[in-house]
Amino acid sequence: MKVLISQYIAQRHADTISQTAPDLALVPFVPTQPLPEEGQEAEVAFLSDDLIVMLHTAAGLPTTPPWISHLPELPRLRWVHTCSAGVDDPLFQRLLDRGVLLTNAIGVRRIPIAQTVLLMMLYFVRALPRYLAAQREHRWDPGWGEELTDKTVGIVGLGHIGQEVARLAKALGMQVIATKRRQVDVEWVDQLLPPSQLPHLLSRADFVVISVALTPETRGLFGAREFTLMKPSAYLINVARGAIVQEAALITALQTGQIAGAYLDVFETEPLPPSSPLYDLPNVVITPHCCDASPLNEARDLQLFLENLSRFRQGESLLNVVRSL
């Protein structure tokens, strides 16, 4: 069985993979070059984080990396594991249309993402923007910060990331409300609502955290109406997908004070164009689709892949199977 892996992963983890499955033939490839000839016979492909970063930024590259266009065409390909949680890129739909088994890394990056959410809530509530501005201007401005205690966080999409955000928020004494399609008992959540009650969540939350998957139902979910339902003192935090938020409406809400501010890791167009007004808004913090970054991710990614590789070779059910997009 031949397994496609990036040259980066081969250099770092080929021995570990080979020890787990000595009969495998690893086929390393350079992402910017055509797939090697032996890669045409690959049955498995491991899309590690270095490849996913390239996939996210492919639209901004002069030419599409060859592996992105050629992967779905491999005649013997049976299974692809991606180290991303989101699978909204057209590449994944092409794989599913071909009948290729697809698994993802949902839940693997919940810890760094949730910790970033907590960081940004503290950043805003403890008045860090004010202090940093005073520092840049050489001013002594003591001011006053607030606490997260008794503040309400509204989590839109209570999956792995949302549940980890809820856990951390409860540890700091926050009230937690959330939306989820299936009504189940979830620890650390004070009130669980169906998606139809999003307006109720928006009217109560001091922080609105978007952690729902991008689907036809959630695309453009946040528009002008939703921002008018939020408190003027509330903050939006988007760590899901940019297309869930109508960016023009968000910019208007931020410029006019309909909401207090936002932390954005994802955008409608990535990379975010230099002309975007978001860069210059003083009540916005931007990170370039990297809030999930952590040096611990690589080991977590590999552990999940190896577990699924063992299951795949033994004909067992795989973890995190993507049924449809």
Quick one: three-class SS letters along 234-295? CEEEECCCHHHECHHHHHHHHHHCCCCEEEECCCCCCCCCCCCHHHHCCCEEECCCCCCCCC
User: Could you tell me the fold of the domain covering 2-107+294-313?
Assistant: Rossmann fold (3.40.50)
pLDDT of residue 325: 73
- How many C-beta atoms surround the C-beta of residue 265 within 10 A? 23
Give the tokens for residue 163: 């549940």
Q: Does residue 271 have a cis peptide bond before it, meaning omega lies within 30 degrees of 0? A: yes
- Could you tell me whether strands 152-156 and 101-103 are parallel, antiparallel, or unpaired per DSSP bridges? unpaired
Please state, in angstroms and rounded to a whole number, the distance separating the CA atoms of residues 28 and 9. Answer: 8
Is residue 251 within 8 Å of 264, Cβ to Cβ? no
| Amino acid (one-letter) located at 62 | P
Q: What is the CATH number that goes with domain 110-286?
A: 3.40.50.720
Please report which confidence band the pLDDT of residue 60 belongs to, taking 50, 70 and 90 as the band edges: low
- How many C-beta atoms surround the C-beta of residue 176 within 10 A? 25
Please report which confidence band the pLDDT of residue 88 belongs to, taking 50, 70 and 90 as the band edges: confident
Q: Which residues are annotated as catalytic?
A: 241, 270, 289
| pLDDT tens column, 126-137 | 999 999 999 999
**What is the rounded average pLDDT of the residues 24-32?**
95
Give the tokens for residue 269: 């167009």
pLDDT of residue 59: 67
Q: Where are the domains of the chain?
A: 2-107+294-313, 110-286
Give the tokens for residue 35: 């797939």
Give the tokens for residue 130: 């004010």
**What is the rounded average pLDDT of the residues 127-149?**
95
| pLDDT tens column, 244-290 | 999 999 999 999 999 999 999 999 998 899 999 999 999 999 999 99
Asked whether the domain spanning 110-286 has the same topology as the one spanning 2-107+294-313, the reply is: yes
- For residue 241, count CB atoms less than 10 angstroms from its CB and return exposed for 0-12, middle for 13-18, buried for 19 or more: buried
Per 3-state DSSP, the chain is made up of helix, strand and coil in percentages (nearest 5) of: 40, 15, 45
61 Cβ contact partners less than 8 Å away, ≥ 6 residues apart: 54
Look over the chain and give the mean of its residue pLDDT values, rounded to a whole number. Answer: 95
pTM above 0.75, yes or no: yes
| pLDDT tens column, 212-247 | 999 999 999 999 999 999 999 999 999 999 999 999
